[in-house]
Amino acid sequence: MIPNTTGERVDDALATTGEHSLSTTAERKAIVEAPGEAPTKDWVIVTRGLKREYDMGGEIVRALRGVDLVIRRNEYVAIMGPSGSGKSTLMNLIGCLDTPNEGEYWLNGTLVSQMSDDALARVRNKEIGFVFQTFNLLPRATALHNVELPLVYAGVSADERKRRAREALDRVQLSDRMDHRPNELSGGQRQRVAIARALVNNPSILLADEPTGNLDSQTSEEIMKVFAGLASQGQTVIMVTHEPDIAAHARRVVVLRDGLIASDDRRAAFAARMGL
Amino acid sequence: MPFFEAIRLALSQIRVQKLKSFFTLLGVVIGVMFLIAVVSIVEGMSRYVEEDFAAKIIGKNTFSFRRRPDINVGNVSDETWREYSRRPRIYEADVAIARGALPPGTVSAVENTTFAYANSQYGRPRQVQVIATEPDYFRIKSYNLTNGRLFSPQEAQLGTPVVVIGTEVASHFFRGLDPIGRELRIGGNTFTVIGLLEKQGNVFGFSLDRMVIGPYKSTLSRVTNPRGDIDALVVQAPTREMIGDAMESVREVMRGFRRLPPARPDNFALETSDAALSFFDELKGKLILFGTALPAIGLVVGAMVIMNIMLVAVAERTREIGIRKALGAKRRDILSQFLVESATLSVCGAAIGIGLGIALAKVVAAVSPLPASVAPWSIALALLVGAGVGIVAGMYPASRAARLDPITALRQE
């Protein structure tokens, strides 16, 4: 029994934070060491030796140099690292916006690392809910329409779209701001619209890229609460950030350095190491 | 993405940038406007020629047997003209032979016509078109009366000096009076007005209401043809198909009657409205060609402007494209979004152009003798052309948008 910073016993903390559902290092290792094998549905994200290189005017930049990342369903993981560590590259790969030069990426039991552009678009639409630092809402569309957008591309009928978009906005407590445009909303509200948009398709993972980067600390806390709430409801959340105190909201923290995973800890261990 | 969704999006895009959209569309608007105006005017002219000109001047399903063609289109050489002059005139004997050969069901009437001065006690002398003919002439030309009566077979037979007059003749010589029963003097003879024709309007500025029609056997023929010859025998067949047969019969008996050896060409003319109509068809083809070539240049310029604006739109909205792609838009979705947008833009321009074109055609019709008739097919065509221009112009910008890399697009400020 290791006492945590608040003096509570870890057992109690586990019970409330859901850390008991975290995968263990041994489990993860077993999956990584079976290349080419399709993981079971329980493992949402499995990457084996993921490499990504960029040609920057003749100079080869090796952004990822063999990343083995395994994330089980319902985990709340932060990916941390200083700039240049390759975390944006990893996020783009996890988000199916990009494909690796080498290595496997299994998303929800499907090998997506070699898919075509349009197949990836379909995967993004179905499996991934993006939350961006700059919110990335369509400026001229209302909150409701912004949330509807993924459903438009999923081919959902207009009535069904409206109904589900309303539901999603309800989940982030924005039902009363449905007909407002992004410029009529505060930063926190905008990010909540973005979260609603990310959730509307019931994605396998919620992928957030510096979700609090453009928000003040109070609003950041608010958004972190939304994430924690979603995680406790069973949503797999992956958050990319460079701020340790934001990363510490996740139950598991993966630290990248120079294109490799430097550490992969539970929150408590990470917090202890960072002195939070 | 559903089609209507894309159109709605495109319209909202246009609404946001009204002025820019308007200038973008100027080329297409002007192009389509002139296209519609030209087609309407040419179409109006040709309908006019086919319906009014052919029916009123020549008559429906009608041909005339005459010395030389009455309607000469294009250039008639001196040589031809001399040949016409050498032809024998047509007299009653020829007409009797020709009539004898007509198939049953045809209707015919001799027609002698000239321009002569008429006068009455109520109006100054004035030139009118004088026609001396037979009762069936009214049937052939579909001339109806608004007042009075036609001359009877007896009057025709006896040559009673009675006339049926056109509305302009009535209003000039009998201003404010009922012309029926009043006297009109033509060429020194007095005629009694017995009927008033309904208004015929004019063909290319030539009034059809300035005529006086009387029995062929009356003294009116002295005015028209002092020599005693006949200008034409007008024959109406019951159907269009029978015109040819009737003409061949007349040709055959006339060649026999005039003892023309096989090698000699006809020394008479059998004239239908086809000659005039084929000339107008040719003219119409040329007018449409030249009339649409110029607006087409406008459309090309319009397409280039739209392409330019769409390229700007793609550049401005790179981030939006990135967002859409991140949320699951496929290449095809982005491509169709921008194609629909440029097509919608262009169709809006075409719609404005159609409105202005119709207005322009109406203005031209009002201030000039050129008639105008808006053909429904030209509106459909203009809309199609508008959509086509938009799609062609949008192809390159849209494919550029569709090929954008989502990561780069999202990074765009």
Does B60 have pLDDT greater than 50? yes
Partner residue opposite A118 with nearest CB, options B12, B323, B331 = B331
Residues 6+ apart with CB under 8 A from A198: A129, A130, A131, A206, A207, A208
Give, for A68, the enclosing helix (H) or strand (E).
strand A59-72
A124-A130-A135-A138 Cα dihedral, nearest 10 degrees: 30
Average pLDDT on A20-27 reads 77
- C-alpha–C-alpha distance, residues A102 and A65, integer Å: 9
Percent of chain A with pLDDT over 90: 68
Judge whether B17 is closer than 8 Å to chain A, CB to CB. no
Q: Quote the pLDDT of residue A19.
A: 56
Give, for A105, the enclosing helix (H) or strand (E).
strand A102-107
Average pLDDT on B61-73 reads 83
pLDDT tens by residue, A128-157 = 999 999 999 998 889 999 999 999 999 999
CB B105 within 8 A of CB B223: no
Q: Kindly determine whether residue A197 and residue B16, on different chains, have CB atoms separated by under 8 Å.
A: no
**How many angstroms from the chain centroid is the CA of residue B408?**
59
From chain B residues 294-323, the ones with a CB under 8 A of any chain A CB are 319-320, 322-323
Q: Looking at CA atoms only, how far is residue B5 from chain A in angstroms?
A: 9
Q: Which two tokens stand for residue B148?
A: 């009075």
End-to-end CA distance of chain B: 25
CA separation, residue B305 to residues A24, B299, B390, B393 (Å) = 61, 10, 10, 8
Q: Kindly determine whether residue A152 and residue B5, on different chains, have CB atoms separated by under 8 Å.
A: yes
Average pLDDT on A111-140 reads 92
Q: Kindly determine whether residue A126 and residue B328, on different chains, have CB atoms separated by under 8 Å.
A: yes
Partner residue opposite B328 with nearest CB, options A136, A137, A150 = A150
B174, amino acid identity: F
Partner residue opposite A138 with nearest CB, options B16, B323, B332 = B323
CA separation, residue B152 to residues B135, B141, B183 (Å) = 7, 17, 18
Q: Kindly determine whether residue B1 and residue A152, on different chains, have CB atoms separated by under 8 Å.
A: yes
Q: Quote the pLDDT of residue A7.
A: 40
Judge whether B410 is closer than 8 Å to chain A, CB to CB. yes
Within 8 A of A155 by CB-CB distance, chain B residues are 2
CB B136 within 8 A of CB B109: yes
Hey, which bits of A141-272 come out as E strands?
205-209, 236-241, 252-257, 260-266
Q: What are phi and psi of A47, to 5 degrees?
A: -120, 140
Q: Kindly determine whether residue B327 and residue A98, on different chains, have CB atoms separated by under 8 Å.
A: no
Within 8 A of B2 by CB-CB distance, chain A residues are 152, 155
CB A50 within 8 A of CB A87: no
**Rounded to 5°, angle at Cα A229 from A153 and A2:** 135
Instruction: Count interface pairs A-B at CB distance under 8 A.
Output: 60
Q: Which of B321, B323, B327 to mutate to test the interface with A (most CBs of A within 10 A)?
A: B327
Q: Kindly determine whether residue A153 and residue B329, on different chains, have CB atoms separated by under 8 Å.
A: yes
- C-alpha–C-alpha distance, residues A75 and B373, integer Å: 73
Give, for B314, the enclosing helix (H) or strand (E).
helix B273-316
Average pLDDT on B68-90 reads 84
Give me the residue label for tokens 């309908």: B47
Q: Kindly determine whether residue A153 and residue B333, on different chains, have CB atoms separated by under 8 Å.
A: yes
pLDDT tens by residue, A173-206 = 999 999 999 999 999 999 999 999 999 999 999 9
CB A264 within 8 A of CB A252: yes
Within 8 A of A118 by CB-CB distance, chain B residues are 330-332
ipTM score of complex = 0.89
Q: Looking at CA atoms only, how far is residue A2 from chain B in angstroms?
A: 42
CA separation, residue B106 to residues A91, B140, B154 (Å) = 91, 10, 21
Please report which confidence band the pLDDT of residue B22 belongs to, taking 50, 70 and 90 as the band edges: confident
- C-alpha–C-alpha distance, residues B225 and B89, integer Å: 11
Average pLDDT on A208-234 reads 92
Q: Please name which of B168, B167, B173 lies closest in space to residue B190, comparing C-alpha atoms.
A: B173
Q: Which two tokens stand for residue A132?
A: 């961006």
What SS3 state is found at A46?
Answer: strand
Q: Looking at CA atoms only, how far is residue A158 from chain B in angstroms?
A: 9
Q: Looking at CA atoms only, how far is residue B398 from chain A in angstroms?
A: 16
Q: At what angle do helices A158-171 and A143-154 cross, to 10 degrees?
A: 130
Q: Kindly determine whether residue A140 and residue B332, on different chains, have CB atoms separated by under 8 Å.
A: no
- C-alpha–C-alpha distance, residues B320 and A208, integer Å: 18
Judge whether B5 is closer than 8 Å to chain A, CB to CB. yes
DSSP states along A32-62: HTSTTPPPPTTEEEEEEEEEEEEEETTEEEE
Strands A59-72, B211-215: pairing kind: unpaired
Residues 6+ apart with CB under 8 A from B107: B136, B139, B140, B235, B236
Q: What are phi and psi of A48, to 5 degrees?
A: -125, 115
CA separation, residue B234 to residues A139, B54, B119, B250 (Å) = 77, 14, 28, 12
CB B357 within 8 A of CB B31: no
B362, amino acid identity: K
Return the residue of A nearest to B16 by Cα.
A140
Q: Looking at CA atoms only, how far is residue A260 from chain B in angstroms?
A: 21
Does A29 have pLDDT greater than 60? yes
Average pLDDT on B103-117 reads 92
Within 8 A of B318 by CB-CB distance, chain A residues are none
Judge whether B263 is closer than 8 Å to chain A, CB to CB. no
In CATH, the architecture of A10-274 is: 3-Layer(aba) Sandwich (3.40)
What SS3 state is found at A226?
Answer: helix
- Please name every residue paired with B211 in a beta bridge, in sequence order, or none if there are none: B129
**Rounded to 5°, angle at Cα B383 from B381 and B387:** 115
What SS3 state is found at A271?
Answer: helix
Please report which confidence band the pLDDT of residue A11 belongs to, taking 50, 70 and 90 as the band edges: very low
- Which of these ranges, B17-26, B154-163, B273-282, B373-382, has the smallest mean pLDDT? B273-282
Give, for B3, the enclosing helix (H) or strand (E).
helix B3-16
Does A21 have pLDDT greater than 70? no
Q: Kindly determine whether residue A122 and residue B328, on different chains, have CB atoms separated by under 8 Å.
A: yes
Q: Kindly determine whether residue A152 and residue B325, on different chains, have CB atoms separated by under 8 Å.
A: no
Within 8 A of A140 by CB-CB distance, chain B residues are 12, 16
**Rounded to 5°, angle at Cα A151 from A144 and A164:** 55
Return the residue of A nearest to B405 by Cα.
A97
End-to-end CA distance of chain A: 19
Task: Name the burial class of residue A87, with classes exposed (0-12), middle (13-18) and buried (19+) by CB atoms within 10 angstroms of its CB.
Answer: buried
Q: Looking at CA atoms only, how far is residue A86 from chain B in angstroms?
A: 14
Does B321 have pLDDT greater than 80? yes
Return the residue of B nearest to A203 by Cα.
B327
DSSP states along A122-175: HHHHHHEEEE-TT----TTS-HHHHHHHHHHHHT--HHHHHHHHHHHHHHTT-G
Q: Is the dihedral of CA A33, A34, A36, A42 positive or negative?
A: negative
Residues, chain B:
413
Does B352 have pLDDT greater than 60? yes
- Which of these ranges, A94-103, B67-76, B370-379, has the smallest mean pLDDT? B67-76
Report chain B's mean pLDDT, rounded to a whole number.
Answer: 88
Average pLDDT on B347-364 reads 91
Judge whether B163 is closer than 8 Å to chain A, CB to CB. no
Judge whether B331 is closer than 8 Å to chain A, CB to CB. yes
Domains of chain A by residue range: 10-274
What SS3 state is found at A91?
Answer: helix
Q: Kindly determine whether residue A152 and residue B16, on different chains, have CB atoms separated by under 8 Å.
A: no
Percent of chain B with pLDDT over 90: 52
Q: Quote the pLDDT of residue A106.
A: 94
Return the residue of B nearest to A122 by Cα.
B328
Q: Which two tokens stand for residue B105?
A: 């069901």
- C-alpha–C-alpha distance, residues A15 and A21, integer Å: 10
- C-alpha–C-alpha distance, residues B29 and B89, integer Å: 58
Within 8 A of B334 by CB-CB distance, chain A residues are none
Average pLDDT on B16-37 reads 86
Q: Kindly determine whether residue B328 and residue A117, on different chains, have CB atoms separated by under 8 Å.
A: no
DSSP states along A76-89: EEEEE--TTSSHHH
- C-alpha–C-alpha distance, residues B131 and B110, integer Å: 10
Return the residue of A nearest to B323 by Cα.
A136
- C-alpha–C-alpha distance, residues A57 and A69, integer Å: 30
- Please name every residue paired with A106 in a beta bridge, in sequence order, or none if there are none: A46, A111
CB atoms < 10 A from the CB of B226, how many? 10
- C-alpha–C-alpha distance, residues B37 and B33, integer Å: 6
Q: What is the b/e burial string over B243-277, where b = at least 16 CB atoms within 10 angstroms of the residue's CB?
A: beebbebbbebbbeeeeeeeeeeebbbbbbbebbb
Please report which confidence band the pLDDT of residue B118 belongs to, taking 50, 70 and 90 as the band edges: very high
pLDDT tens by residue, B239-290 = 888 888 899 999 999 999 999 999 999 999 998 877 667 777 777 888 888 8
Within 8 A of B406 by CB-CB distance, chain A residues are 97
The more confidently predicted of residues B32 and B200 is B32
What SS3 state is found at B184?
Answer: strand
Return the residue of A nearest to B319 by Cα.
A136
Judge whether B229 is closer than 8 Å to chain A, CB to CB. no
Which letter does DSSP use for residue B404 in this model?
-
Give me the residue label for tokens 């649409």: B292
pLDDT tens by residue, B162-215 = 999 999 999 999 998 999 999 999 988 999 999 999 988 776 667 889 999 999
Does A12 have pLDDT greater than 60? no
Q: Kindly determine whether residue B326 and residue A149, on different chains, have CB atoms separated by under 8 Å.
A: no
Judge whether B1 is closer than 8 Å to chain A, CB to CB. yes
Within 8 A of A152 by CB-CB distance, chain B residues are 1-2, 5
pLDDT tens by residue, B224-238 = 988 889 999 999 988
From chain B residues 50-69, the ones with a CB under 8 A of any chain A CB are none
